[in-house]
Amino acid sequence: MTHIANPNMSTESYLPIGPTPSFPATFVPLAGTAQDCLDCARGERVGFSFDYAYQPIVDLARKTVFAHEALVRGPNGEGAASVLAKVNDSNRYSFDQACRVKAIKGAKELGIQEPISINFLPNAIYKPEVCIRTTLEAARVHGFPVDHIIFEVTEGERIEDGPWFASILREYKRCGFKTAIDDFGAGYAGLKLLSDFQPDLVKIDMDLIRGVDVNPARQAIVRSLVSLCREMSITLIAEGVETASERDFLFDQGIELMQGYFFAYPAFRAIAALNPGSY
């Protein structure tokens, strides 16, 4: 997978999944203490510093912000690639844990009231209970509601064991987190993952959104996704919206949640201001 510098694309957020995760002997999962959370937030467990930008997901029907996606950045706002270049097999699991803690801590410090959406690494799941414990403790320490946390996994990542991964997502959902499949229509998992697990949210890949207002083939695919997700009680989000015409077509099809440069660019360590008149 090629990582793209476009901060709107969550495919930049994480590494491609391999067929079998191998956990290094040096990996020690978080015990779930307040000190663990502080160490994670400072990057001490990972060995390098990173931070987050936040991009709003808007609700056009209600003219409000539905949620904010947390996008990994370097400590001075550098692109995601500068951070991902430092992630390897020896720190990938600690990095995934630190991402959860830092995204939650940053959102609380900024005063974000809406849910936050965090990308996570399927191949960094040591044990579901460990990953969930990390997140629950971070939410407790920083006073952020558990039901305001959404976990996204990109559909573009190669997931070899669909039923196993679906069971992981079900456990997240059982614990009160929201779940989302990102970049739907872009990669490997597709309808097979959707048949194994029905998330709360599906984010349509931006390549299907680009120019959808004038592209009959993309229009047909979007209409089919709207019908499919409606039947499965899944909420759709259109990501990568860049023009008013794209927004209007999507809204006419019944898609109310959208994300993209048309509404706001990601804001580094800040709550992004919505572009005037964007919704």
Global pTM?
Answer: 0.83
Q: Are strands 116-119 and 235-239 parallel, antiparallel or unpaired?
A: unpaired
Say if residues 150 and 118 touch (Cβ distance below 8 Å). Answer: yes
**Gap between the Cα atoms of 107 and 111, Å rounded:** 6
pLDDT digits (tens, 9 = 90+) for 157-195: 555 556 777 777 888 888 889 999 888 876 555 677 788
- Residue 123, pLDDT > 80, answer no
Lowest mean pLDDT, pick from 60-64, 81-85, 269-273: 81-85
3-state secondary structure the chain: CCCCCCCCCHHHCCCCCCCCCCCCCCCCCCCCCHHHHHHHHHCCCCCCCCEEEEEEEEECCCCEEEEEEEEEECCCCCCHHHHHCCCCCCCHHHHHHHHHHHHHHHHHHHCCCCCEEEECCHHHCCCHHHHHHHHHHHHHHHCCCHHHEEEEEECCCCCCCHHHHHHHHHHHHHCCCEEEEEEECCCCCHHHHHHHCCCCEEEECHHHHCCHHHCHHHHHHHHHHHHHHHHCCCEEEEECCCCHHHHHHHHHCCCCEEECCCCCCCEECCCCCCCCCCC
Average pLDDT, integer, range 121-150: 80
Burial of 233 (0-12, 13-18, 19+ CB in 10 A): exposed
Q: Per CATH, which fold does 10-14+30-268 belong to?
A: TIM Barrel (3.20.20)
158/142 Cα distance (integer angstroms): 33
Domain coordinates in residue numbering, the chain: 10-14+30-268
**Mean pLDDT of the chain, nearest integer:** 81
What pLDDT does residue 96 have? 84
Closest by CA position to 17, among listed 188, 166, 134: 188
- Asked if residue 29 has pLDDT above 80, the reply is no
Give percent above pLDDT 70 in the chain: 75
What's the rounded Cα separation, in Å, for the pair 177 and 140?
14
| pLDDT exceeds 70 at position 124 | no
